[in-house]
Amino acid sequence: MKQQGLKNFLEKRIWVIGASSGIGEACATALIAAGAKVALSSRRAERLNALVQFGDKEQTIVLPLDVTNQEQLESAYQSILKGWGGLDLLLFVSGVYTPLRADNFDFTVAQKTIDANLLGPMRAVGVVLPNMLKAHAGHIAIVGSVAGYSGLPKALAYGPSKAGIINFCETLYYDLLPQGVSVHMISPGFVATEATAQNDFEMPALITANEAAKEILEGIQAGKFDIHFPKRFSGFLKFLRILPYPIYFWIIRRFVKI
Ligand SMILES: NC(=O)c1ccc[n+]([C@@H]2O[C@H](COP(=O)([O-])OP(=O)(O)OC[C@H]3O[C@@H](n4cnc5c(N)ncnc54)[C@H](OP(=O)(O)O)[C@@H]3O)[C@@H](O)[C@H]2O)c1
């Protein structure tokens, strides 16, 4: 059994959460250009409103929200149902990153990171899932990170939040494949965005947000579960995680100078 791709975005009803910058913004603008109906969400309404100009009047809805707020997610979903009668794809891109190591570990930062990056997608999935299950149709795509594959420096909260996304997507895929609902787990390497602009080290295999959006949208069209890129970097990290721990930690200490 293989899951369905979303072959053509024309007229498809798509909710992009985290559309105000970076990878989410690039996905949203590409989807608008492809003729999709796009609901634009994140906290900064002014940044979302700026994207409306890229489409026809009827093509976009701006639904500002915070992914840590259950009521705002539910109310945004109700607006989508009212406007468009249903949803074909939930594309959850939103995420936060605060560098955190053992010597500056801060529980409040960890809690906020897990709330936004792991519980946020769970809340959104909880909101859209009942109708997708009823219809035996729909797509759920969640942006995790290669940082979720194995422990990496400076990711004491971000890493666990993204590792949780991998397990969540794997389990969702297992449950939803027989139900006709597709799951797309997205694991980017380094992408040049506002989030990575703060990095003070050279990022290997860095790609642009538009390149990331192309990988994501092509992966969804092809019906892929595991969408990871750029392959030269994500493939290498996938290989590292099958190594015994002593070798894994040796390689990380030897080559990751942050
Ligand atoms: N850039 C990379 O190298 C990289 C690598 C791997 C994975 N990723 C993942 O890719 C995703 C996008 O990251 P990016 O690099 O494009 O970062 P970005 O430019 O900082 O964008 C993050 C997006 O998330 C939204 N967001 C953050 N907290 C939110 C909240 N509480 N409620 C609603 N929206 C929220 C932001 O919008 P508002 O501020 O308007 O709310 C923004 O639209 C994240 O999940 C990130 O972890 C990025």
Dump pLDDT digits (tens) for 63-80. Answer: 999 999 999 999 999 999
Distance of alpha carbon 171 from alpha carbon 250, whole angstroms = 31
Distance of alpha carbon 192 from alpha carbon 173, whole angstroms = 29
Lowest mean pLDDT among 21-35, 100-114, 116-130, 193-207: 193-207
Q: What is the pLDDT of residue 241?
A: 94
CB within 8 Å of 246: residues ≥ 6 apart: none
- Is the pLDDT assigned to residue 257 strictly greater than 80? no
> 22 CB less than 6 Å from ligand 1?
yes
Instruction: For a ligand 1 pocket test, name from 29, 42, 97, 184 the mutation site with the most ligand atoms within 8 angstroms of its C-beta.
Output: 42
Q: What is the pLDDT of residue 201?
A: 85
What backbone phi and psi angles, to 5 degrees, belong to 94?
-50, 145
**Farthest CA pair distance, the chain:** 57
- pTM equals 0.98
> 208 CB less than 6 Å from ligand 1?
no
Q: State the average pLDDT for the chain.
A: 96
> 43 CB less than 6 Å from ligand 1?
yes
Lowest mean pLDDT among 71-80, 134-143, 198-207: 198-207
Report the share of the chain in percent with pLDDT over 90: 95
> Is the CA virtual torsion 39, 45, 46, 47 positive or negative?
negative
The conformational region for residue 154 under phi > 0 = left, psi -120 to 50 = alpha, else beta, is left
> 196 CB less than 6 Å from ligand 1?
yes
- Is the pLDDT assigned to residue 200 strictly greater than 90? no
What backbone phi and psi angles, to 5 degrees, belong to 16?
-100, 115
Burial class (CB in 10 A: 0-12, 13-18, 19+), 70: middle
CATH of domain 13-255: 3.40.50.720
Where do the DSSP E strands lie in the chain? 13-17, 37-41, 60-62, 89-92, 139-143, 182-188, 191-192, 207-208, 226-229
Distance of alpha carbon 24 from alpha carbon 86, whole angstroms = 21
> 187 CB less than 6 Å from ligand 1?
no
Nearest CA to ligand 1 atom 14: 22
* Helix-, strand-, coil-residue percentages of the chain, each rounded to 5: 50, 15, 35
> 148 CB less than 6 Å from ligand 1?
no
For 90-133, the pLDDT digits (tens) are 999 999 999 999 999 999 999 999 999 999 999 999 999 999 99
Integer-rounded Cα radius of gyration of the chain: 18
Instruction: For a ligand 1 pocket test, name from 48, 63, 93 the mutation site with the most ligand atoms within 8 angstroms of its C-beta.
Output: 93
